[in-house]
Amino acid sequence: MASIDCFEEIYSLYWQKVYRLCRGYAGEDGKDLAQETFLAVYENLPRFRGEASIGTWIFRIAANLCLKHVKKPVYASLVGDYQEEVRSEDEKVVLLHRFIQELKEVDRLIISMELEALPQAEIARITGLSEGNVRVRVHRIKDILNQKFRQHGFE
């Protein structure tokens, strides 16, 4: 059982990773989802039983919130700002975020966690999928992303 007293330490250890996961899933709404995640962590920390690592538990909360997130038509808003963003940021990064937003919900979560360098075993625990299924999905997602980059003139 974890104590509320350690919340600040947990927050400082996991904020950036959770924020990047949520931003990878929900774009600009990622900050709100990350804040909701830590609100849920704070409220439920006294009930944390330690059946999984604290990180797995936190990412599971974030993943659940991301999956519940009601999507706006992200593609349209990204395309509207696309030309300006390409000039102001690294083109590959902009495209990567755009391509990730076009993936299915679970695939967005999986690749976001993979990009955060979470072990695939932990991704499996968080998503409820088997490790083998996660491994196959990561491979397929990377193939899809590579294909999209090739279609946009990148090798």
Express each pLDDT in 58-97 by its tens digit: 988 998 888 787 554 444 444 445 444 444 456 777 788 8
- Distance CA(66)–CA(81), nearest Å, equals 23
What is the model's pTM? 0.63
Give the residue-averaged pLDDT of 117-125: 91
- Distance CA(104)–CA(77), nearest Å, equals 18
Question: Coil, strand, or helix at residue 48?
Answer: coil
| CA dihedral sign, ordered 111, 112, 117, 120 | negative
Tens of pLDDT, residue by residue over 13-25, are: 999 999 988 888 7
Residues 120, 134 contacting (CB under 8 angstroms): yes
Tell me which residue of 75, 70, 79, 76 sits closest to 33, measured CA to CA: 70
What is the Cα gyration radius of the chain?
16
Question: Coil, strand, or helix at residue 52?
Answer: coil
Return the top range by mean pLDDT from 28-32, 39-43, 87-91. Answer: 39-43
Residue-level pLDDT at 70: 53
Burial category of 20 from C-beta neighbours within 10 Å (exposed 0-12, middle 13-18, buried 19 and up)? middle
Residues 58, 37 contacting (CB under 8 angstroms): yes
- Distance CA(118)–CA(115), nearest Å, equals 8
Domains of the chain with CATH codes: 4-68 (1.10.1740.10), 74-151 (1.10.10)
Q: Directed axis angle between helix 91-101 and helix 74-88, to 10°?
A: 170
